Every structure is written in C-alpha cells, then in structure tokens.
C-alpha cells in the first residue's frame, strides 16, 4: 500500500543480508539501536575490540537514510564552514572539520583493509555559484577553509555542461556505493561472532539503569550500554531532543547518463539546493541529481520529482532515461553540528548520534569512532573533537534563534494545523488519493487504495499528537512537528514516532 521508495543503491546492492526479528530476551555489553551507517560502523569498530553487541533495526539494515543517500564522502559541506565559524566559533568549526576528515579516512581504511568492493572512488568536491552574491558566499567559504586548513581553490569554470560563475573545489574527496560498503561491514560482523543482528525489530521502550533494558514487540535486550543510532533519537527525554532537532526531506533522481563526465561531485551555493554526482553503474554511467527539499511534513503542493526531471532535462542536454527516484530525510541540530555523546548527564551509559545535516557519510563514521572510543576507553584522536559534538553543549549565539523559530513553528502546527482541516466526505477520495480531512467532527488521515478501499486513521501523530499532513509525492502521512512519517497502511515509516496510527472505521465508504 505504501509506495516503494527504493533507491538506486537498494536496486543494485545484490542480495541483502537478512536477519530474524528479535524473539525472546538477549543480553550484551552494547546494544545498538539502528542499522544505518552509524550503528553498523560502531558495531564493526567494537567487534575489533571483542565487545559483544546486539543491533536492533526497525526495518532492514541500511533501509534508512544511509541506503538513500547521495553518498559523497567529503569534508567540503557546501557553505557550512564559514557559517560554523560565525555560529559556534573557529575552534569548534576546526574540530568539526577535523572529525569529518577522520570519518572519511576511516571509510577509506575499512575499504582498503577489508578489500570492500563498493566503487569507492576519489573525486573532487565542488560548490558552484551562479550569481554574484553566490560568488561572495564561495569567497567566504574559501577564507574559512584557509583558516581551518581545509583544502580549497576557487576557479571560474568546471566540467558541468551549463555555465557557472565560480566554483570552489576540494581535491581528493570520494564517493561510493553506500549499501555495498555497509553490507560488507555487516559480513565482517557476522564473521566476528561478537554481534547479533535483528531486523524488523523496532525498539519501542528504553528503561535506563546501571544495566539498560530495551523492548521490542518480540523481546528484550539487556545491556551495559545502549547507543541510539536511529538518526532521530527514539527517546525524547532526558535531553529534550524533540525541541532541538528537525528533519529535512530531500529528493533524488537517478538517470542513465552514458558517457557523461562532470569531473567530480557538485552542490550549488544557492537555493533551492541542487546536488550532482555520477556513479559507474552496470554498463553505463548514472547521474544522480538531488535537491528540492523541504522540512518534513511541509511539502505543500511541491512537485520535487517534477522539478528534478526539468532540472536534468534543461541542464544536461535533454532526456536521460529514468533509472530510479527516491526521497529521504536527515536530522538537523540547532547549531548545525551533530549531537554525539551521552544522551544526558543522568544517562551516562546511553549514547546518542544524530543531526548530520545531510553530511552523514563522514559525520556518522566520525560519530561511531567517537562513541567506540568513549565506550572502550581506547584512545582515538577523534576523541579530541568530541567537545564540539557534545549533545549538552550550550551555544547560544548559534542556537537561540533557531530554537525559538523552530519551537514557535511547532506550536503553530499544533494549533493552526488543527484549524485548517477541511470537512469533507470520504466518498470524494479518488483511487490512490490521500487527504487529511474532517469526518464527523474528527480529524482523519484517509487514503483510498487502487482497489477502491478506504483506509482511515486518527490524523494525529503518535509521537506528540501533532496534526499530520498528506505528502502526495510519497503517498504518506507526514508530521510537520518533528518529522515522523506513516505509510498509507498506518505503519511508522520514520521516527521519532514508535507506534502506528490508530485505525478508525471507514464507515461511509461506497
């Protein structure tokens, strides 16, 4: 019932490893919740130290944002560095860049050491400007890179097949096939004998204590330490993460681009964000064009896939056959530096890693290194960067404004969202159409499937009861408050929600 949102990586990763859901009670030293890049990298690092782990994954390993990424591995994060210097200061910006460099190096080390065939290729990363004001932004970023000793050079041309005014290039970055990489790490975990992996095992409760207890529908896991590698933390308290994170959704179109060579990976300096990279596909080059994102639940009447199609057709010389298109979301913190460390001061044996702001290949790997080093007390130089990522940090100049803006906005969604729901008859729904509508004085999330059957749910998110919106691009019910998503079958697609939508009687269907 929910539209398949399979990425190019999911379509070309070969046979996915498969693991049984958790059934019964397990114990381990470290329980890792979430089988994306953060969770699996951490498990692989801990396996090297012989630490016994259990990984709980709500869906399939790699089915979250990792399997839907553009998968550029770079320390050049668009225009981020000069903004970080302005927000959190030069020292923390330096630690951010340094940690990400170590994250990129760790990926290359794993690829070399384990001989992982994941199309890991070196390529320059470029930011391009198309207007005079964007050139000024590139110049500021260039100065920030000089200050932080990150490689960068400005030029006035590049290999994109459309004119740009300037380009800022960082050499010797990389890209890869994220799922081939992830599944190779999973294979080493299986071989290590120290890690048990469980798919379709959503953690729905965490009881903290000297030993922690995680509950799924099928069983429990008791662990000395728990790591929430769920992209958005599955618990809100302590730490008030719901008030300090938001989720951004973005779209990718992958097309057949035989013979195309654009000389690296690109992101634009302006808005809307547009990103390009190529990948050596099966017998042909693939072009991945991404962007046209929005805050989750705020899609309005956007047509991001249509915009991407026009972008590819207009900028890359006509029609290129569609191979796959998909969307995904990532979390963003108040000051744009991830939260990596203990969940709160009262929970020293629960770790969290979130808020990569769509630069998670390097950030997730750096986070895994930091947490592995903290848990095992084995020194790693990335530990020197941990202060910048501390989830309990106080960065008023970078955070105060976004805290106010975001939380006032959430309050607005709770009130205006409810008032704006139009009353209508379920019979007005066409096949394949979903809507949030008032039905008999109640707000309903309603969907009519292709067989004509109507499915009706409570239109309030099961996280904190925010009124949902219908995302017509994805056929899903999305929450504008903290970004949970539900399929047309009512099941949770993405958290922080842990429970499906409450089903209601479709009553008046014809």
Ligand X SMILES: Cc1cc2nc3c(=O)[nH]c(=O)nc-3n(C[C@H](O)[C@H](O)[C@H](O)COP(=O)(O)OP(=O)(O)OC[C@H]3O[C@@H](n4cnc5c(N)ncnc54)[C@H](O)[C@@H]3O)c2cc1C
Q: Does 290 bind ligand X (CB under 6 A)?
A: yes
Tokens encoding 332? 């963003």
Which one of 75, 479, 492, 501 is in contact with ligand FES (CB under 6 A)?
A: 479
433-439 sheet: strands from edge to edge = 433-439, 442-448, 454-458, 503-504
Give the x/- contact pattern for ligand FES in 268-307, rule: CB under 6 A: ----------------------------------------
Q: Does 506 bind ligand FES (CB under 6 A)?
A: no
Quick one: which of 289, 348, 296, 330 has its CA closest to 480?
A: 296
Would you say 391 or 495 has its CB closer to ligand FES?
495
Give the x/- contact pattern for ligand X in 64-83, rule: CB under 6 A: xxx--xxxx-----------
Residue 56 touches which of ligand FES, ligand X, none (CB < 5 to 8 A by kind)?
ligand X
Is the Cβ–Cβ distance between 87 and 395 less than 8 Å? yes
Residue 152 touches which of ligand X, ligand FES, none (CB < 5 to 8 A by kind)?
none
Residue 484 touches which of ligand FES, ligand X, none (CB < 5 to 8 A by kind)?
ligand FES
Beta bridge partners of 213: 207, 222
Residue 464 touches which of ligand FES, ligand X, none (CB < 5 to 8 A by kind)?
ligand FES
Q: Does 35 bind ligand X (CB under 6 A)?
A: yes
Secondary-structure breakdown of the chain: helix, strand, coil percentages, each rounded to the nearest 5:
30, 30, 40
DSSP 209-270: SSSEEEE-SSEEEEEEEEEEEEES-S--TTTTGGGTEEEEEEEEEEEE-TT---SSEEEESS
Would you say 81 or 459 has its CB closer to ligand FES?
459
469-471 sheet: strands from edge to edge = 469-471, 476-478, 485-486, 492-494
Q: Does 446 bind ligand FES (CB under 6 A)?
A: no
Q: Does 287 bind ligand X (CB under 6 A)?
A: no
DSSP 280-310: E-SSSEEEEEEEEEEETT--TT--HHHHHHH
Residues 6+ apart with CB under 8 A from 301: 472
Would you say 188 or 362 has its CB closer to ligand X?
362
Angle of helix 178-192 relative to helix 90-113, nearest 10 degrees, comes to 70
**From 54-62, 198-206, 269-277, 456-464, span contacting ligand FES (CB under 6 A):** 456-464
CA distance 382 to 439: 54
Run of H or E residues at 124: strand 121-129
Would you say 75 or 93 has its CB closer to ligand X?
75
Quick one: which of 251, 301, 249, 242 has its CA closest to 466?
A: 242
Beta bridge partners of 436: 445
Task: Give me the least distance between CB of 304 and ligand X, in Å please.
Answer: 11
Classify residue 478 by its DSSP letter.
Answer: E
**From 136-144, 225-233, 401-409, 425-433, span contacting ligand X (CB under 6 A):** 225-233
Residue 463 touches which of ligand X, ligand FES, none (CB < 5 to 8 A by kind)?
ligand FES
**From 74-82, 144-152, 309-317, 477-485, span contacting ligand FES (CB under 6 A):** 477-485
Q: Does 42 bind ligand FES (CB under 6 A)?
A: no
Task: Report the residue count for the chain.
Answer: 510
Restricting to residues 219-278, name those near ligand FES by CB under 6 A: 242
- Please report which residue ranges of 293-382 form alpha helices under DSSP H: 304-315, 360-376
Give the x/- contact pattern for ligand X in 117-156, rule: CB under 6 A: ----------------------------------------
Residue 466 touches which of ligand FES, ligand X, none (CB < 5 to 8 A by kind)?
ligand FES
Which one of 482, 486, 494, 504 is in contact with ligand FES (CB under 6 A)?
A: 482
Q: Does 126 bind ligand FES (CB under 6 A)?
A: no
Residue 360 touches which of ligand FES, ligand X, none (CB < 5 to 8 A by kind)?
ligand X
Is the Cβ–Cβ distance between 268 and 130 less than 8 Å? yes
At 20 the three-state DSSP class reads: coil
CA distance 329 to 294: 9
Summarize as ranges the residues that interact with ligand X (CB under 6 A).
33-39, 56-59, 63-66, 69-72, 202-203, 229-231, 234, 250, 252, 290, 328-330, 356, 358-362, 364, 495, 498
Summarize as ranges the residues that interact with ligand FES (CB under 6 A).
242, 461, 463-464, 466, 479, 481-484, 496-497
């Amino acid at each position: 019932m929910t539209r398949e949102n399979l990425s190019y990586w999911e379509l070309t990763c070969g046979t996915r490893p498969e693991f049984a859901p958790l059934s019964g009670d397990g114990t381990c030293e470290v329980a890792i919740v979430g089988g994306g890049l953060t969770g699996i990298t951490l498990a692989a690092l801990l396996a090297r130290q012989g630490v016994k782990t259990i990984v709980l994954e709500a869906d399939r390993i790699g089915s979250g944002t990792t399997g839907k990424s553009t998968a550029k591995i770079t320390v050049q994060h668009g225009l981020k560095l000069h903004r970080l210097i302005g927000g959190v200061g030069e020292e923390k910006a330096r630690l951010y860049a340094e940690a990400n460099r170590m994250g990129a190096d760790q990926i290359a080390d794993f690829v070399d050491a384990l001989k992982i065939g994941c199309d890991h290729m070196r390529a320059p990363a470029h930011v391009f400007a198309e207007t005079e004001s964007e050139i000024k932004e590139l110049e500021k970023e260039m100065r920030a890179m000089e200050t932080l000793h990150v490689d960068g050079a400005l030029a006035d041309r590049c290999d994109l097949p459309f004119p740009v005014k300037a380009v800022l290039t960082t050499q010797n970055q990389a890209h890869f096939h994220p799922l081939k990489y992830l599944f190779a790490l999973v294979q080493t975990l299986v071989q290590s004998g120290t890690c048990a992996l469980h798919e379709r095992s959503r953690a729905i409760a965490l009881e903290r204590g000297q030993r922690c207890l995680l509950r799924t529908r099928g069983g429990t896991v008791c662990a000395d330490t728990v790591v929430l590698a769920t992209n958005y933390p599955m618990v809100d308290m302590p730490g008030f993460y719901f008030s300090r994170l938001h989720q951004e959704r973005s779209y990718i179109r992958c097309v057949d681009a035989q013979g195309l060579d654009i000389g690296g990976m690109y992101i634009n300096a302006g808005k809307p964000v547009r990103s390009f990279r190529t990948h050596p596909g099966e017998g042909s080059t693939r072009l991945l064009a991404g962007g046209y994102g929005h805050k989750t639940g705020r899609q309005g009447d956007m047509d991001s896939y249509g915009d991407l199609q026009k972008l590819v057709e207009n900028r890359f010389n006509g029609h290129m056959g569609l191979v796959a298109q998909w969307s995904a979301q990532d979390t963003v913190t108040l000051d744009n530096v991830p939260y990596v460390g203990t969940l709160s001061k009262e929970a020293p044996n629960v770790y969290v890693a979130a808020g990569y702001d769509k630069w998670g290949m390097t950030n997730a790997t750096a986070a895994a290194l930091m947490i592995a080093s903290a848990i095992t007390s084995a020194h790693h130089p990335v530990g020197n960067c941990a202060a910048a990522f501390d989830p309990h940090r106080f960065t008023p100049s970078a955070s105060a404004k976004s805290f106010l803006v975001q939380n006032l906005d959430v309050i607005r969604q709770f009130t205006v969202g409810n008032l704006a729901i139009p009353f209508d008859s379920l019979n007005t729904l066409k096949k394949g159409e979903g809507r949030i509508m008032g039905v008999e004085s109640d707000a309903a999330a309603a969907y009519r499937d292709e067989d004509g059957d109507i499915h009706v749910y409570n239109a309030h998110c099961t996280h904190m009861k925010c009124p949902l919106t219908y995302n017509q691009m994805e056929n899903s019910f999305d929450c504008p408050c903290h970004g949970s998503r539900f399929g047309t079958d009512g099941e949770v697609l993405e958290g922080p929600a842990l429970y499906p939508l409450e089903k209601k009687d479709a009553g008046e269907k014809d």
